[in-house]
Amino acid sequence: MHRPPTNIAPNTHHPPPCLVHAGARANWSRSGHLAMLSSKSRHVKVLAVPASSSQGNSNNNISQHTKLRTDKFFEVEMAVHDNELDEYGVVNNAIYVAYIHNAREDLAASIGFSMASIARTGNAMALLELNLKYLKPLRRGAKFVVKVRIVQIKGARILVDHFIETLPDHKLVLEATATIVCLNKDYRPTRVFPEMSSKLHQFFSSKDG
């Protein structure tokens, strides 16, 4: 079974297939926040449809009131491996959680954000809720793309949309929405960390792809 890595929304316990459904809630533990796995085999790129209006490009001017673009995605191309298949020859439902977590890990790396630095401060992040909708299966050797979009950053929470599409025909395989919560040293919800909020707002509101 492929274990999902810790990333921008760490889910430190791999959920069994029966828990991966709409409304599933992920468990987490403090010990997992430093775990970062290598993903050199993944191809990362960004897709952004040209916006009709310009956006500010100064880090200092990016705030939680900045409008996030609905047409901008962070993309990671991947391929199905044999050890991710179930007895029916399709990708096990729980593996899709790993796919979207890997994509968020690459997103964090692309904006120069270190999850380890948060852990060193004593703060943490947790995956509060994950809703998945399966539309069609992925099979052995299939190539696909995971598309990530930040929907909202408000208070202690980050709302993230994910889409998995086949390649090269871009048929929709899965839709997922995750709610991520930031925690202070006492494991109580705290406002999204300023540096993270600034970088995510800058990335997902900028005109450039």
Contact 142, 79 (CB under 8 A): yes
How far is Cα 95 from Cα 59, in angstroms, rounded to an integer? 36
Sheet holding 172-183, edge to edge: 43-48, 72-79, 143-154, 157-166, 172-183, 124-134
- What span, in angstroms and rounded, lies between the C-alpha atoms of 43 and 26? 27
Residue appearing with tokens 């401060």: 121
> Are 181 and 93 spatial neighbours (Cβ–Cβ below 8 Å)?
no
Residue (of 48, 31, 36) closest to 6 by Cα position:
36
CA angle 37, 39, 45 (to 5 degrees): 135
Residue type, 28: W
What positions carry a catalytic annotation?
86
CA dist., res. 189 & res. 117, Å (int) = 18
